[in-house]
Amino acid sequence: MGRNYSKEDLAQLHLGKGNELHGDGSLIVLKALLESGVAYLGGYPGAPTSSLYDAIADAYHDVLEPMGVYFEGSGNEAAAAALLSLSVHYPVRGAVNWKVVGSNVAADALAHVSAAGVYGGALILVGEDYGCNSTTVAEKTLPYAQKSACAVVDPKGDPETMVRMVREGFRLSEVSHMPVFYLFRTRTGNLKGSVTCDDNQEPPISMKNRITKPEVQLDRTTLPPYVFDHEREKFTERIPAARDYIVKKSLNEWMPGDGRGIGIIAHGMLYNTVARALHSLGEADLSGRTWIDILCLNVIYPLVPREVVDFLRDKRDVLIVEEGMPNLLEQEIRAIAQEHRLSVRLYGKDLLPMPGEYTPSVLIRGIGEFLTRTVYATNGQKSRIEGRVEGLARHLDQARRAFALPVSVRNPIFCTGCPERPVFSALKIMEKAYDRPHYAQDTGCYAMGTMPPFDSITASYTGMGTGLAAAGALSKLSEKPVVSFMGDGTFWHSGLTTSIANAVYNKQESVLVIFQNFWTSMTGQQENPATGHNIRGEPNADMSILGVLKGMGVKWIRQTNPYNLKDSMKAFREAMGAKGKGLRVIVSRAECMLEKQRTLRPEKKAALAAGATVEDVKLGVDDEVCTGDHSCMRYNGCPSLTVKPGPNPLRDDPIATIVNSCVGCGLCGEVAHAAVLCPSFYEARVVSNPTAWQRARFKMSRALIGGVLGVRV
C-alpha cells in the first residue's frame, strides 16, 4: 500500500528533546510510544485506529526497525492481544491497537493477560467513539475493563495531554500490573496540533538486544492454584496501586471555578465539547476558562473515590457528562456520594440523552437546562441562557431552510468500479427468474449490498467472519437457498475457522461468496495474507484461499471475474442448483478498485510526463439512443452513473449519463445488456501520446465512417 504519511511527516519521528513536531493525532501518539521505550507493536486495523496502524507501518523500516522495535500486522485482535503476554513475563513495553468491537475478538487472550498481570507496560489503543464513527454498533470499553480489571485512559483533546497519557499509561500499567486501555477517539486521532518532543528511547529488550535466557515463572501462569491469587491481587493490590498513582501524578485535572457550588464532571474529549458548549452559552471564554468547577477525568477506570469526594464535598449541584450507555461513571459517582453521605445534587442522564454522540448542540441544550434549573432559576439570567439555547435552535432551523429541498438521506455505497458491486448486480438480475434467496451478511464493504439499489435485505448481519455461521440453522430450515458473503481480509481474520470450518463440519447447505480483492478495504486498504506481502512490505508465503478451501474439505469451488457478469450469473445458477452438495464457494477475484487506481494514476502520470503512449477506457451513453428506462441504475448503483435532462422535448424522463469519475470497469453496460439488452452504452478509448500507427488507424477509421455516412467526420 502507498504511504499515508509523507517522508517529511515521518522524519519528525527522529526529533529529539526540545524540538516541535506538528501532525495529526496518530503521528503524535506514535512519537509518544517511541519516547516511552516501546519494544513491540501490533494490532488489527479498524476505525479510528487505522491511521495509527498505517503510521506505524509507514515508519517501520526508517524509524522503528533501526531502533529494534518489532511491529506486526496481527491476524486479528486476539492475535494482537496475545502479543501482550510478552509483558507478563518480561519487563518489556508493548502496545497494540484495534477498534472498539475488536475487544470482543480479543477477549479470551486479553482475559488471560489481565488475569496474570503485566510487569512490562502494556497499552491497548482502542478506537472508540460512541456511535457509528468507529463501528456499526455502539459499544464501550469501560464495561469490559471493569470486568477484567484493566485501567482505562481517556485523554482530553489536547496534543500535550495525549502524549503525557501515553507515557503515564505505561507507568500506570507497570505500577498496577494492569493492562491499560487508551481510548483513541476519532476526534483525538484526527486532530492536528504541535507537541514538544523528548528523545526517543531504545528499549532495553528489542530486536537489537534479544532475550538470551527464557524465564520460568509459574506464579504468572493462569492455571490453578496461581489464578486464585491473581483474582485476589486485582482488587486488593492492583486497583489500589493504580488509584495511588493517579492521585500522585494528578492524571485527572481539576479546573477550579469561583466557588459558587456548581460543578461539571466530564471525561476525555468530552471536556473539550463541554468547554465549547459553555462558551456558546456565554459561561466561558474561548480558551474554556469558566466560573464553574470542572473535573476532567483523563482516567475513567479505576475512579479514585477520594478525588470524587474532594470535588463534590463543597458543591450544591453537579452535572455528570458521560457519553453513551451504560452510564457506569454516573452510577459509580452517585454511589460514592451516597456512601460518603454528601448532600450534593447530581444530574446526568436525566438532563442529557442516554444514547448517541454528545455533539456541541446536544451539550448546549443539556448544560443550558442544568444552569437554568440550578443557578439561574430565580434571576434574570435564566432568560439569557434560554435565549442562547433558542438561538441555537433557530440557527439550526435556518440552516435546514437554506436548502431549496431537504437534504436526502444518503446510504453508504460502493466506490466507483468496486469489484463487489457486480456480484450484487448479478444476484438482483437473477431474482427476476429465481426465487429470492436468504442473505446472511457479516461486517465488510459488501454489507453495503443491503442498501439500494440491491436491497439484499439480510436474514442476518453479524460481526466479522460470522455471516456464514449465522446461516447454519437457516440453511436447514429454509426451502430457499442461503447466500453468505465474506471478504478476503475477513476470511483470514476469523471466517476460516468461525464460519467455513463450522460449515464443513456441520454439512451446511449454503452458498458463500468470498470477495478476493487483495486488501482489507473497509479499514483503508491495509495488507492481508491475500495481498502477497505483509504490512512491513515483506513478501509472504503463498497463502492461497483456493488451496485452504480445498484443504478444509470444500468440494464445490468456482473462481470468477466479477466484471464478467455472464460468468458470475452462471456460477450462481450452478451453486444454487447444487443443493445437497454442502457448502458451495464462489471466489470473486478482482483487486479493490480504489487501491488499484491509487497505483495506476501515478504510473499514468509518470508515463505521460515521459511522453509514453497511455490509453484510458471510458464508458459513455448515447443521448439519442437512451430511452430513460434506467435499468442500468436499478441494477448498478455506481456513483459515476447518474441522470441528466434528455435531448428529446417530447420525453419527460431524464436519460442516463456517465460522469468523469468513471474508471471504465464496464459494469453499467454489462448490467444494461443483461437486464434489457440496452444498446445505449458504448466504450471509448482515449489515447494520449498516440503512436504513428495509432494516428494512421484513427485517420483511416474517420475516412471510412465518413464514406459510409456520406458526411465529413
153-172 pLDDT, tens digit per residue, is: 999 999 999 999 999 999 99
Report helix, strand and coil shares of the chain as percent, to nearest 5.
40, 15, 40
CA 587 vs CA 83, 161, 254, 419, 513: distances in Å: 32, 47, 57, 12, 6
Q: Which residue has the higher pLDDT, 37 or 644?
A: 37
Biggest distance spanned by C-alpha atoms of the chain: 99
Residue with cell 460514592: 336
- pLDDT at residue number 214: 83
> Last residue of some domain: 595, 628, 655?
595
User: Can you tell me the mean pLDDT for 432-449?
Assistant: 82
Residue ranges with strand state E in 89-209: 94-99, 122-127, 151-153, 180-183, 192-196
258 shares a domain with 242: no
CA distance 603 to 612: 11
**pLDDT bracket for residue 270 (50, 70, 90):** very high
Last residue of a domain, one of 231, 247, 263: 247
Last residue in a domain, options 565, 595, 625: 595
Using the 8-state DSSP alphabet, how is residue 613 labeled?
Answer: -
Residues 261, 231 share a domain = no
Residue 524 located in a structural domain: yes
Is position 605 within any domain? no
* 176 lies in some domain: yes
Tell me whether residue 267 is in a domain. yes
**Distance, CA of 363 to CA of 366 (rounded, Å):** 5
Asked if 234 and 270 sit in the same domain, the reply is: no
Do 474 and 539 fall within a single domain?
yes
User: For residues 541 and 213, which has the higher predicted lDDT (pLDDT)?
Assistant: 213
> Which residues lie below 8 Å from residue 3, measured CB to CB, with a gap of 6+?
58
Check: CB of residue 44 under 8 Å from CB of residue 493.
Answer: yes
pLDDT of residue 604: 86
Count of C-beta atoms within a 10 Å radius of residue 96: 29
Nearest to 85 by CA among 105, 112, 54: 112
Beta strands 122-127 and 180-183, pairing class:
parallel
CA dihedral defined by 424, 427, 431, 432, rounded to 10 degrees?
90
Mean predicted lDDT score pLDDT of the chain: 88
Q: Is the domain of 187 the same as that of 275?
A: no
**pLDDT of res. 656:** 85
Q: What is the CATH number of the domain that holds 436?
A: 3.40.50.970
Cα 482 to Cα 297: distance, rounded to the nearest angstrom: 49
> Residues 324, 204: one domain?
no
395-411 pLDDT, tens digit per residue, is 877 777 777 666 667 77
pLDDT in tens, 75-110: 999 999 999 999 999 999 999 999 988 999 999 999
Mean pLDDT of 62-72: 96
Distance of alpha carbon 241 from alpha carbon 471, whole angstroms: 47
Strand order in the sheet with 511-516: 458-461, 438-441, 482-487, 511-516, 584-589, 556-560
Return the amino acid letter for 358.
Y
> Do the beta carbons of residue 73 and residue 520 sit within 8 Å?
no
Q: pLDDT confidence of 137, banded at 50, 70, 90?
A: confident
The answer to which of 178-192, 316-330, 692-706 has the lowest mean pLDDT is 692-706
Which domain does 26 fall in, by range?
A: 7-247
Tally Cβ neighbours within 10 Å of residue 62.
Answer: 13
More confident residue, 193 or 526: 193
Angle between helices 421-430 and 667-676 (to 10 degrees): 0
Q: What is the mean pLDDT of residues 500-516?
A: 92
pLDDT digits (tens, 9 = 90+) for 510-539: 999 999 998 888 777 788 888 887 888 888
In this prediction, residue 405 carries a pLDDT of 67
Number of domains observed in the structure of the chain:
4
Tell me the C-alpha distance between 75 and 70, whole Å: 15
What is the pTM assigned to this prediction? 0.90
Same domain, residue pair 437 and 493: yes
Same-domain status, 447 and 570: yes
In angstroms, the CA 54 to CA 41 distance is 12
Contact (Cβ atoms closer than 8 angstroms) between residue 526 and residue 97: no
The answer to whether position 298 is within a domain reads yes
How many other CB atoms are found less than 10 A from the CB of residue 195?
24
Q: Tell me how far apart the alpha carbons of residues 92 and 81 are, in angstroms, rounded to a whole number.
A: 15
Q: Is residue 414 part of a domain?
A: no
- Decide: helix, strand or coil at residue 688: strand
> 403-425: b or e for each residue (b if 16 or more CB lie within 10 Å)?
eeeeeeeeeebbbbbbbbbbbbb
- Enumerate the β-bridge partners of residue 22: 194
Nearest to 183 by CA among 205, 148, 156, 220: 156
Name the pLDDT band for 281 (thresholds 50, 70, 90).
Answer: very high
User: Which run of H or of E encompasses 337?
Assistant: helix 328-339
> What pLDDT is stored for residue 329 in this prediction?
97
- Does residue 174 share a domain with residue 45? yes
Q: What is the per-residue pLDDT for 524? A: 79
Q: Which stretches within 117-269 are classed as H helix?
A: 142-148, 159-176, 186-189, 226-233, 239-248
Q: Pull the grid cell for residue 476.
A: 436447514
- In this structure, are 572 and 654 located in the same domain? no
Inside any domain, residue 382: yes
Question: Of 180-184, 338-342, 452-456, 580-584, where does mean pLDDT reach its minimum?
Answer: 452-456
**553 and 688 housed in the same domain:** no
d(CA 349, CA 327): 8
Q: What is the reported pLDDT for 93?
A: 97
The proportion of the chain whose per-residue pLDDT surpasses 70, expressed as a percent, equals: 96
Is 430:573 a contact under the CB 8 Å cutoff? yes
C-alpha distances out from residue 227 to 117, 120, 219, 580, Å:
10, 19, 8, 48
| Alpha-carbon gap, residue 622 to 512, rounded angstroms | 38
Residue 640's domain is classified under what CATH number? 3.30.70
Reported confidence tier of residue 672, pLDDT bands at 50, 70, 90: low
pLDDT tens for 2-22 read 468 889 999 999 999 999 999
Q: Does the structure show a pLDDT above 80 at 658? A: yes
Percent residues over pLDDT 90 in the chain: 49
- Is 181 in the same domain as 134? yes
Structural domain contains residue 167: yes
